[in-house]
């Protein structure tokens, strides 16, 4: 069998094992569910407010955005942090020692984080369906759209998490990326259509996959008449497919290269140096 195919198969198996470990760990479950639960609580308080020009609840309109934000935090950021932690405890160094080990490692991480993100999404969506009216969950097409948007959105964002995690030496240093990422979420219309933003900011938001993921989720879960609040008064499915597909292709081309180069710089001495530095940090 082709060595790359063996690595991919091993990565899929590893990803499934890691997913089962994550869903059996109460701390991991709490970390994945707590941020969107807080957002749902806030939106529930605002449920009587309406989207300007419509009778739709602002709380209902924000639910897809909460799911998109959760995909960013649990998926992209979760993968980046996991990668930096694996560098610290020499997991990546051991993967490097195996033929095509880095490919198998990356496959396993993508699979496990994608599964955790999808599971946390449905854990949030179920209570949201009871808390907020106006979510179109009874249509078969809603679930079809939700499935392909979520799958393509994860393919577009998870490789970015691997690239981001390759750029930092420790999980602590990853904290510096939180504010820029939350800023990106804010300008991407995750909670509110970006029509009211300046034109240059609208164009900037549409460059990144976060906007399209949130737009696609809104198209799946909200009534069609709310498309009038979006750019072009349309859900723009073709553009969503194209932009997310382009980011996915770019990510899967770059992530293995960046990760392999980073892995080549890993050595026993570099791992020992990071451990010594970590031990010197104040508790």
Q: What is the pLDDT of residues 131-190, one digit of tens each?
A: 877 788 888 899 999 999 999 999 999 998 888 888 877 666 666 777 788 888 888 877
| CA 229/CA 232 separation, integer angstroms | 9
8 A C-beta contact, residue 78 and residue 18: no
Comparing CA positions, the residue from 114, 142, 147, 113 lying closest to residue 129 is: 142
Question: Any idea what the Cα angle at residue 66 is, between residues 61 and 70, rounded to 5°?
Answer: 160
pLDDT exceeds cutoff 90 at 262: no
**Would you list the domain boundaries of the chain?**
3-46+56-279
pLDDT exceeds cutoff 80 at 84: yes
8 A C-beta contact, residue 80 and residue 262: no
| CA 141/CA 163 separation, integer angstroms | 34
Tell me how long the chain is: 283
pLDDT for res 175: 67
Comparing CA positions, the residue from 37, 34, 214, 56 lying closest to residue 135 is: 56
pLDDT exceeds cutoff 80 at 251: yes
| CA 262/CA 162 separation, integer angstroms | 11
Comparing CA positions, the residue from 153, 167, 14, 146 lying closest to residue 75 is: 153
Q: What is the dihedral of CA 266, 268, 272, 274, to 10 degrees?
A: 0
Question: Any idea what the Cα angle at residue 213 is, between residues 57 and 60, rounded to 5°?
Answer: 10
pTM above 0.95, yes or no: no
Tokens describing residue 31 = 């970390």
């Amino acid at each position: 069998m082709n060595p790359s195919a063996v690595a991919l198969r091993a990565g899929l198996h590893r990803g499934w094992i890691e997913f089962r470990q994550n869903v059996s760990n109460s701390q991991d479950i709490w970390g994945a569910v707590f941020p969107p639960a807080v957002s749902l609580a806030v939106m529930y308080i605002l449920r009587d407010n309406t989207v300007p020009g419509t009778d739709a609840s602002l709380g209902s309109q924000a639910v897809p955005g909460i799911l998109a934000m959760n995909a960013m935090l649990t998926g992209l950021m979760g993968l980046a942090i996991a990668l930096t932690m694996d560098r610290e405890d020499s997991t990546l160094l051991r993967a490097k020692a195996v033929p095509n080990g880095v490919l198998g490692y990356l496959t396993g991480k993508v699979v496990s984080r994608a599964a955790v993100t999808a599971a946390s999404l449905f854990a949030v969506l179920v209570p949201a369906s009871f808390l907020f009216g106006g979510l179109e969950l009874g249509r078969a097409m809603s679930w079809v759209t939700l499935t392909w948007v979520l799958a393509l959105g994860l393919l577009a964002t998870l490789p970015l998490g691997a690239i981001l995690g390759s750029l930092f030496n420790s999980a602590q240093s990853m904290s510096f990326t939180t504010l820029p990422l939350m800023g990106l979420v804010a300008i991407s219309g995750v909670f509110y259509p970006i029509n009211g933003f300046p034109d240059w900011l609208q164009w900037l938001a549409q460059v990144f996959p976060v906007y399209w993921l949130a737009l696609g989720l809104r198209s799946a879960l909200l009534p069609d008449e709310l498309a009038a609040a979006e750019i072009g008064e349309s859900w723009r499915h073709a553009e969503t497919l194209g932009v997310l597909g382009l980011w996915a292709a770019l990510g899967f081309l770059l992530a293995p290269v960046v990760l392999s180069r980073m892995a080549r710089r890993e050595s026993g001495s570099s791992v020992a140096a990071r451990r010594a530095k970590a031990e010197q940090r104040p508790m």
